[in-house]
């Protein structure tokens, strides 16, 4: 038989496909053609079976699915370190919102989003969910960079730089959805900021549009104890119950943070088939609380992983988030076996894909799926010796070791060099913004 001509063949020391669960392939090759995964084969077999336009040899690497950062505010990378060591309410109201009021513009969003995308690509993220102002500009930057994204149009009940009222936010968002309908790499989601910033009437409208258009709803929820107590005082129910009463809890609803939850809250999430997005480092830094990941997973709830914005993290390295999530889950559950390495990797890959409605396209290295994948080098001192490749990815500083990244078969990072963004230019732009934001 004649070898089959394909676009790309990657020979890797290890391949962790995520599906099948806990599988690790050694000395195998992954074949890609027309932006899609053909399959995984022993290297000797692949050499006979395929003729590839491009062959990448990764003798000291782990090949795995690109990671999904299921919550963030990309442009806030320009506020990295601006207001540290504060709880959520004063952090937002006394520092972040005022500086956003002074500095917000389309250019701020464009430059901050590019900075974030570059950081995410270089640390292993190939898909991210975002919610911020000027969602149309975010989508433009995403398209230019080649990364994959769920772009959320943020909705408030009051005027901001992004809109004058709920009608304005929603109108702009639905228009953006029409613009990107059918785009392979960009989805548009409705992103009501939080139960405490969006009123009942607006939330009902969002639920209606989400149902009619099968559009994702991305919302901060149960982030702090104060949020819950304020809701009990104002609405005589917890935020999650209010969202259910208003029809917002849907199979495509992504509940971000969820640190203050009990058995009844878990039941509501479970009954409505919602997704939870866990942001452990931001929650820890803002002292917001702990998401009971092990309990949620035991209840069959899909839990994905997010970094939140760099203003409250302060990095967008999802591997770092992965390690924190695994360690924190063990501490909260009082069980060292809670959230093992493979389960943690699923949170950052297939679970994130499922939360964003992209599970048929990304999140695992399966035949027919889009070729979204990354390579992590494991030859450094901090990666030796290596007994368990999955464990090494979760616990051993893997983000700094990412060397290659592909989205839909297109290389976005090659030998640690960005192919669609200019690293030095982004560093200079970040310094210029820093001097404008805090000139002293």
CATH number of the domain enclosing 10: 2.30.40.10
% of the chain with per-residue pLDDT over 70:
100
Q: Is the pLDDT of residue 87 over 90?
A: no
User: Are the beta carbons of 302 and 330 closer than 8 angstroms?
Assistant: no
CATH number of the domain enclosing 96: 3.20.20.140
User: Are the beta carbons of 238 and 267 closer than 8 angstroms?
Assistant: no
Q: Is the pLDDT of residue 186 over 80?
A: yes
CB under 8 Å to 234, separation ≥6 — which residues? Answer: none
Phi, psi of 191 (to 5 degrees): -125, 75
Token digits of residue 307: 């970094």
Q: Are strands 25-33 and 402-407 parallel, antiparallel or unpaired?
A: unpaired
Q: Is the pLDDT of residue 439 over 80?
A: no
Does residue 44 lie in a domain region? yes
- 151 and 227 housed in the same domain: yes
Does residue 420 lie in a domain region? no
Q: Between the CA of residue 362 and those of 65, 102, 237, 269, 409, what are the distances in Å?
A: 8, 39, 37, 24, 12
- 119 and 208 housed in the same domain: yes
User: What are the pLDDT digits (tens) for 229-248?
Assistant: 999 999 999 999 999 999 99
- 20 and 107 housed in the same domain: no
User: Are the beta carbons of 150 and 187 closer than 8 angstroms?
Assistant: yes
Range of the domain at 15: 4-64+373-408
Per the document, the length of the chain is 440
Of 320, 355, 390, the one marking the end of a domain is 355
Q: Give residue 88's pLDDT band: very low, low, confident or very high (50, 70, 90).
A: confident
Q: Is the pLDDT of residue 212 over 90?
A: yes
**pLDDT given for residue 231 in this prediction:** 97
- 78 and 207 housed in the same domain: yes
Token digits of residue 178: 């029409």
Q: Between the CA of residue 219 and those of 77, 317, 396, what are the distances in Å?
A: 20, 22, 32
Does residue 368 lie in a domain region? no
Q: How far apart are CA 328 and CA 54, in angstroms?
A: 41
Q: How far apart are CA 404 and CA 63, in angstroms?
A: 9
DSSP codes of every residue in 360-376 = TTSSS--TTSB--EEEE
- 155 and 263 housed in the same domain: yes
- 316 and 348 housed in the same domain: yes
Q: Between the CA of residue 120 and those of 50, 116, 418, what are the distances in Å?
A: 32, 6, 11
Token digits of residue 329: 């889950």
Q: How far apart are CA 48 and CA 9, in angstroms?
A: 12
**pLDDT given for residue 279 in this prediction:** 97
- End-to-end CA distance of the chain: give it in Å, rounded: 70
- 58 and 73 housed in the same domain: no
Does residue 254 lie in a domain region? yes
- 144 and 219 housed in the same domain: yes
CB atoms within 10 A of CB 33: 18
User: Are the beta carbons of 63 and 372 closer than 8 angstroms?
Assistant: no
User: What are the pLDDT digits (tens) for 15-31?
Assistant: 999 999 999 999 999 99
Q: How far apart are CA 245 and CA 347, in angstroms?
A: 29
CB atoms within 10 A of CB 53: 10
Across-strand partners of 272? none
- 156 and 101 housed in the same domain: yes
∠ CA(304), CA(148), CA(160), 5° rounding? Answer: 80
Residue given tokens 């040899």 in the structure block: 57
**Of 356, 330, 392, 171, which Cα lies nearest the Cα of 251?**
356
State the number of CA atoms in the 13 A half-sphere of 382 facing the CB: 11
Q: How far apart are CA 278 and CA 283, in angstroms?
A: 9
Does residue 351 lie in a domain region? yes
Q: Is the pLDDT of residue 193 over 70?
A: yes
How would you list the strands of the sheet with 50-65, edge to edge? 36-42, 25-33, 4-15, 50-65, 373-377, 402-407, 410-414, 417-418
- 8 and 149 housed in the same domain: no
User: What are the pLDDT digits (tens) for 382-415?
Assistant: 899 999 999 999 999 889 999 999 999 999 999 9
Does residue 80 lie in a domain region? yes
Q: Give counts: helices (H), strands (E), the chain.
A: 17, 16
Does residue 362 lie in a domain region? no
Does residue 390 lie in a domain region? yes
**Of 90, 100, 10, 64, which Cα lies nearest the Cα of 342?**
64
User: Are the beta carbons of 175 and 135 closer than 8 angstroms?
Assistant: no
User: What are the pLDDT digits (tens) for 297-351?
Assistant: 999 999 999 999 999 999 999 999 999 999 999 999 999 999 999 999 999 999 9
Q: What is the pTM of this model?
A: 0.97
Q: Give residue 440's pLDDT band: very low, low, confident or very high (50, 70, 90).
A: low
- 158 and 279 housed in the same domain: yes
Across-strand partners of 108? none
Q: Give residue 187's pLDDT band: very low, low, confident or very high (50, 70, 90).
A: very high
Structural domain tally of the chain? 2
User: What are the pLDDT digits (tens) for 253-278?
Assistant: 999 999 999 999 999 999 999 999 99
- 54 and 146 housed in the same domain: no
């Amino acid at each position: 038989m004649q070898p089959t001509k394909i676009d790309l063949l990657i020979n890797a020391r290890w391949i962790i496909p995520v599906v099948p669960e806990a599988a690790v392939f050694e000395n195998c090759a992954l074949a890609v053609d027309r932006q899609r995964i053909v399959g995984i084969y022993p290297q000797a077999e692949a050499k006979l079976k395929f003729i590839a336009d491009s062959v990448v040899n990764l003798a000291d690497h782990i090949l795995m699915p690109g990671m999904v950062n299921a919550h963030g505010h990309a442009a806030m990378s320009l506020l990295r370190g601006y207001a540290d060591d504060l709880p959520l309410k004063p952090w937002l109201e006394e520092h972040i919102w005022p500086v956003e009021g002074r500095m917000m513009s389309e250019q701020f969003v464009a430059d901050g989003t590019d900075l974030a995308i570059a950081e995410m690509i270089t640390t292993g993220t190939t898909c991210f969910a975002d919610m911020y102002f000027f969602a149309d500009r975010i989508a433009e930057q995403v398209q230019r960079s080649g990364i994959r994204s769920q772009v959320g149009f943020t909705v408030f009940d009051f005027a901001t730089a992004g809109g004058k009222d709920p009608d304005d936010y929603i109108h702009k968002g639905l228009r953006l959805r029409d613009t990107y309908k059918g785009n392979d790499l960009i989805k548009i989601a409705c992103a009501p900021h939080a139960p405490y910033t969006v009123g009942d009437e607006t939330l009902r409208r969002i639920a209606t549009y989400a149902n009619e258009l099968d559009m994702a709803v991305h919302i901060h929820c149960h982030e702090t104890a104060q949020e819950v107590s304020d809701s009990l005082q104002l609405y005589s129910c917890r935020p999650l119950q209010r969202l259910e009463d208003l029809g917002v809890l849907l199979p495509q609803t992504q509940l971000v943070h969820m640190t203050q939850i009990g058995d009844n809250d878990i039941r509501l999430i479970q009954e409505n088939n919602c997704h939870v997005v866990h942001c452990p480092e931001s929650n820890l830094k803002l002292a917001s609380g702990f998401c009971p990941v092990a309990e949620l997973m035991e209840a069959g709830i899909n839990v994905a992983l997010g970094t939140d914005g760099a203003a409250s993290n302060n990095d967008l390295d999802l591997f770092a988030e992965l390690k924190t999530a695994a360690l924190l889950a063990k501490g909260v559950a009082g069980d060292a076996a809670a959230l093992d390495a493979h389960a943690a990797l699923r949170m950052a890959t297939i679970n994130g894909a499922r939360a964003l409605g992209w599970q048929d396209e990304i999140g695992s290295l399966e035949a027919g799926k889009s070729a979204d994948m990354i390579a992590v080098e494991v030859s450094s001192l901090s990666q030796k010796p290596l007994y368990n490749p999955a464990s090494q990815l979760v616990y051993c500083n893997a983000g700094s070791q990412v060397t290659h990244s592909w989205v839909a078969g297109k290389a976005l990072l090659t030998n640690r060099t960005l192919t669609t963004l200019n690293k030095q230019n982004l560093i200079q732009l970040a310094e210029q913004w820093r001097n404008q934001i805090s000139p002293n």
